[in-house]
Structure 1
Amino acid sequence: MKLLNSNGDIKILPRAVHKIASFSINGKHIQEYDSNYSYSAVQKYLKRIISNPEKLNFLDAVIRYNYWYKPVLLSVNHDNMNKSYNNETLIKLYKEALKISPNNEKYLLGLASMYRLSKNLNLATGIWQKVLQINPNNYQALLSLAVYTQFNKNQKAFKRSLTRLNEIDGQQTKQVEGWLRYLEELKTIRLTTNLNRVYDDNTSKHFIVILGASLTAAGKMKLKLKKRLRAGLKLAKRMPNTRILVSGGKLPREPDFEAKVMKQWLINHGIKSKRIFEETYSRDTVQNTVNSTDILNENGAKTVTVISNASHMKRSYTLFKTARLITNGKYLLDQYVVFESKDEFKALENNSRDIPKIINDLLRVAGFWLLPGIQR
């Protein structure tokens, strides 16, 4: 990929990696936002690129950068997730790409995802419908329409969509029906708040999975991550033969990998290094899930306890169950929640606002791209 630098010269950018890994440009980890990736700069640079393929390669790089750059790590939205703050820019960038290639399904699906993330489901729906006009067999567009607009509101239409999905790809649809059941279970799921109720399996095939959380710009852990680690430490000391998997990569502006900081904390508190597995590639909960599931399967896990905060667990536990289903994992799975604050008790209640976010992440775990070619 190519991008113009501040002098107007074209420089080479690495192709978007397919492995789920921490984000860097030219091998350098992102710290401060590069104004060359702003929309105003992009408009100027596009005028200097002659061929349409080069323009699209350039836009792919810029979209990737703007999606992953998180300007304010300490700010969160109502889902308790780090904000991107770049949604408006990304929407404009996708529109630029569609000016060049109006019927490109990749860019249409990306724009639909950005509208959905911006809570504009009507515009997203219109784009999915347009994709299906271009290609009636586009599985992702049809599935997106079904789960976001029909699942809870129009069962007849939803069943018709499932029938059509089954005609397109019966094997894939069987998996979809499996993880859709997990969405139904969200209404009655009971989160574990007592450490005495998690699996009592003091063997090397029991994995305690501690999910990471963003560090401060100085590389320090915040309270939510410390509480997760303290809970994991209690379990690890109670069952000294178990393994521990710490999961968390490095976001833009983080000076270190979350998993490495977590591992060192556990070592400092008496856990032997050889008991600890590190997952350092992930940048969000979906990637925590996908990468951790691979490690669990590769190491023959039999029982797994996932540890996270109450506000995070319904989503993360559902994703782990889905990943186990998708990969034919053979282990039993349970969870334990910790509380960062009294407000997190609200997370134990059913909250319909979480459902679109969970659907979004379930699709990604199942292999559907949020931004095709840029973000699974």
Structure 2
Amino acid sequence: MKNIKRKILITAVLSLSLMACTPAQNKSNKVSKDQIVQVVNFDNQRKIDELVQTGIYYYWNGGDLKKVEQEFFKGITLKGKYDVVENSFKEASNLDPYRLDLRFSIASTQVIQGKIAEALETYKGILNIEPNNFDANILFAAYSRINGDTLSYDNTLKFLSTIEPEKTAKYVASFERTENFLKTDIKTDAYKVKTPNHTIVTLGYALANDGTMRPTLIKRLDQTLAMAKLNPNSTIIVSGGVPKQGVTEGHLMKEWLVENGIDASRVFIDDKAKDTVGNAVYSTEIMKKLNTKNVTLISSASHIRRGLSVYKEVSVRENLDINFDNLVYLDYDSVEEAMKVSSKEYMVVYRDTLRGSGLWNYPGIQR
């Protein structure tokens, strides 16, 4: 029985890998027959599943680095939770080198750590196996641009425009929108809105360990309250779903607004989101039901460019025509200081906007 399964798997791997070797592929990049004939031991699947689950657990929660070193990564010194995540997917990929989702997950974790050059090499490895893979190409293009390699960016987009012109054009438009949002004039004073179907969307902030709101979140709510009073016909969405002591950010945010005079019927809660992309995904679902056409997004100044870019990307992906404006809690010494975009923020804005487009960090595993 084992021999039969082995033969079936060899045939499947050969077929899929040979399909990936297109005529347009450079000879230097072709995968050899010896590389193609790699049989994944069925017993390894359990190990792969364990490694993937370990990686995702540490992504969200962290944990005991010494324990995971002993159990999974003997001989590797781990410096932080993302080392665990990256090495989990590397070990899993070593067991099944042709599972591209594992390689994408390695690259995503490298990006999270700011290791852009390493992520680009990981994407090259994917393209060595599957040269026409759109997701790997567009991610390679985006992070090449972030890394200052405009030649690779231009050449990759030129190649993609020959095989997926419409899809490529959508991403070019997305990159242009992102660049515009990075130049956004931030607003620090509440204002009256003249456009119809207006919604105020306020982004949450991690609660303290005792389940209370931190000062940053209260400052965002102060701006929400000012905006809500000036625009009594506007609906309000409060977004934040990470629970502490049995309560979520969204729940406490609505409670605070109601206690400060806002009619509860105006306030809608998203209490599922765990990060900015989740904020955008879940509150966009609420905006669909509200028929929202115009949004004032409220967050901290240090976070607003990312929020605007991600929300717009999610709305475009959902085929919604929504205009986005902003109001911020100024967490800088001045507006001039807040307008400066660091290289780290530049990378993070692109990273999360790409996720908002549907290119998830851990494809097939989680967003």
TM bucket, shorter chain: 0.7 to 0.9
Amino acid paired to 1:351 = S
Kindly indicate whether residue 137 of structure 2 is the aligned counterpart of residue 145 of structure 1. Answer: no
Match of 1:260 in 2: 251
Say which of 35, 43, 46 aligns to 1:51.
43
Match of 1:87 in 2: 82
Rounded to whole Å, the distance in 1 between the matches of 2:205 and 2:337 is 20
Q: Which is further off, 141-150 or 160-169?
A: 160-169
Percent identical among aligned pairs is 29
Alignment of 1:267-346 (within 5 A): 267-340=258-331, 342=333, 346=337
Q: Which is further off, 57-66 or 121-130?
A: 57-66
Structure 2 gaps, min length 5: 1-40, 64-78
Q: Which is further off, 357-366 or 183-192?
A: 183-192
Match of 1:44 in 2: none
Rounded to whole Å, the distance in 1 between the matches of 2:342 and 2:148 is 16
Match of 2:214 in 1: 222
Aligned-pair RMSD on alpha carbons?
2.3
Distance 1:222 1:96, change over 3 A: same
Q: How many Å apart are 1:316 and its aligned residue?
A: 0.8
Kindly indicate whether residue 152 of structure 2 is the aligned counterpart of residue 161 of structure 1. Answer: no
Whose radius of gyration is greater, 1 or 2?
2
Alignment of 1:177-192 (within 5 A): 177-186=172-181, 188-192=183-187
What is the DSSP-based 3-state SS (H/G/I as helix, E as strand, rest coil) of the residue aligned with 1:207?
Answer: strand
Match of 1:75 in 2: none
Rounded to whole Å, the distance in 1 between the matches of 2:194 and 2:245 is 35
Distance 1:218 1:151, change over 3 A: closer
- In the TM superposition, what whole-angstrom CA distance separates every residue of 1:179-237 from its partner, at most 9, and x where no partner exists? 100232245321112213x6245x6x211101011001111111111011111111112
Q: How many Å apart are 1:152 and its aligned residue?
A: 6.7
Q: Which has the higher contact order (CA 8 A, sep 6+)?
A: 1
Match of 2:17 in 1: none
Q: How many Å apart are 1:86 and its aligned residue?
A: 0.9
Amino acid paired to 1:354 = E
Q: Which is further off, 315-324 or 304-313?
A: 315-324
Match of 2:21 in 1: none
What is the DSSP-based 3-state SS (H/G/I as helix, E as strand, rest coil) of the residue aligned with 2:238?
Answer: strand
Rounded to whole Å, the distance in 1 between the matches of 2:111 and 2:198 is 38
TM-score (norm 2): 0.79
Structure 1 gaps, min length 5: 1-48, 72-83
What is the DSSP-based 3-state SS (H/G/I as helix, E as strand, rest coil) of the residue aligned with 1:195?
Answer: coil
Rounded to whole Å, the distance in 2 between the matches of 1:50 and 1:350 is 48
Say which of 49, 60, 63 aligns to 2:52.
60
What is the DSSP-based 3-state SS (H/G/I as helix, E as strand, rest coil) of the residue aligned with 2:295?
Answer: strand
Q: How many Å apart are 1:92 and its aligned residue?
A: 1.7
Distance 1:89 1:132, change over 3 A: same
Rounded to whole Å, the distance in 2 between the matches of 1:292 and 1:172 is 25
Kindly indicate whether residue 228 of structure 2 is the aligned counterpart of residue 233 of structure 1. Answer: no
**For the Cα contact (< 8 Å) 1:339–1:345, is it kept in 2?**
no
Q: How many Å apart are 1:279 and its aligned residue?
A: 0.8
Rounded to whole Å, the distance in 2 between the matches of 1:178 and 1:254 is 43
Rounded to whole Å, the distance in 1 between the matches of 2:142 and 2:174 is 11
**For the Cα contact (< 8 Å) 2:146–2:346, is it kept in 1?**
no
Distance 1:152 1:189, change over 3 A: farther
